[in-house]
């Protein structure tokens, strides 16, 4: 995060070999223990918390229907794609859906384009039995939350980690 407290400290003060202690995690962004369908939405570095949840579910197992929309500008902004697609082999009801908002001609992109929100209607089976887990910029969180509520998902079932 440009000029962020942690980023500045890591790049300007931390040196190779320095020891760092971490505590936590803290906060309320964690997977709820329900049987509800899951809609994951992330952009940029928001992939890390979702990846962590998926790795946990791989260990404990799940039969929940899960769709993961990852928004990026262009093909060069996608990462860990093969790892995310590999979860489609682990979970019977999991789909990874990258969406590019501005693919270049050189990308030769054949996938979904624009914003992720219009594609929600393709995967939401029962809004009252759907939880959403969002990670990314405050603007993305706000737009996706608004859209999910319009699709009938209860606001108290929309969980997010805003990277603002």
Q: Kindly list the structural domains of the chain, giving each domain's residue range(s) and its CATH number in brackets, ordered by start.
A: 37-162 (3.40.50.80)
The Cα 20–Cα 149 span in angstroms is 41
Which residues in 110-126 are b (16+ Cβ under 10 Å) and which e? eebeeebbeebeebbee
Predicted confidence band of residue 18 (pLDDT cuts 50, 70, 90): very high
When pLDDT is averaged across residues 22-42 and rounded to a whole number, the result is 88
Locate tokens 């606001």: which residue? Answer: 155
Share of the chain above pLDDT 90, in %: 79
Among 6-20, 30-44, 68-82, 138-152, name the one with the lowest average pLDDT. Answer: 6-20
164 has a pLDDT exceeding 80: no
pTM of the model: 0.84
Predicted confidence band of residue 163 (pLDDT cuts 50, 70, 90): confident
**More confident position, 22 or 136:** 136
50 has a pLDDT exceeding 80: yes
111 has a pLDDT exceeding 90: yes
**More confident position, 125 or 2:** 125
Those residues with Cβ within 8 angstroms of residue 40's Cβ, 6 or more apart along the chain or in another chain: 50, 53, 66, 67, 68, 69, 132, 133, 134
Residues 59-89 pLDDT 10s? 999 999 999 999 999 999 999 999 999 999 9
Which residues in 46-69 are b (16+ Cβ under 10 Å) and which e? bbebbbebbeebeeeebebbbbbb
């Amino acid at each position: 995060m440009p000029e962020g407290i942690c980023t500045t400290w890591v790049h300007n003060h931390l040196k190779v070999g320095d020891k760092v202690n971490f505590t936590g995690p803290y906060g309320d962004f964690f997977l709820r223990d329900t049987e509800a369908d899951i809609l994951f939405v992330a952009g940029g570095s928001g992939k890390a918390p979702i990846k962590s949840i998926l790795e946990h579910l791989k260990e404990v197992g799940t039969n929940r229907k899960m769709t993961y929309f990852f928004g990026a500008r262009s093909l060069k902004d996608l990462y860990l794609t093969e790892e995310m697609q590999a979860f489609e082999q682990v979970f019977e009801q999991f789909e990874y859906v990258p969406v590019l908002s501005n693919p270049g001609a050189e990308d030769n992109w054949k996938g979904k384009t624009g914003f992720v929100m219009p594609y929600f209607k393709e995967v939401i089976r029962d809004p009252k039995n759907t939880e959403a887990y969002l990670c990314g910029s405050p603007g993305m969180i706000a737009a996706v939350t608004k859209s999910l509520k319009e699709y009938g998902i209860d606001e108290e079932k929309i969980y997010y980690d805003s990277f603002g």
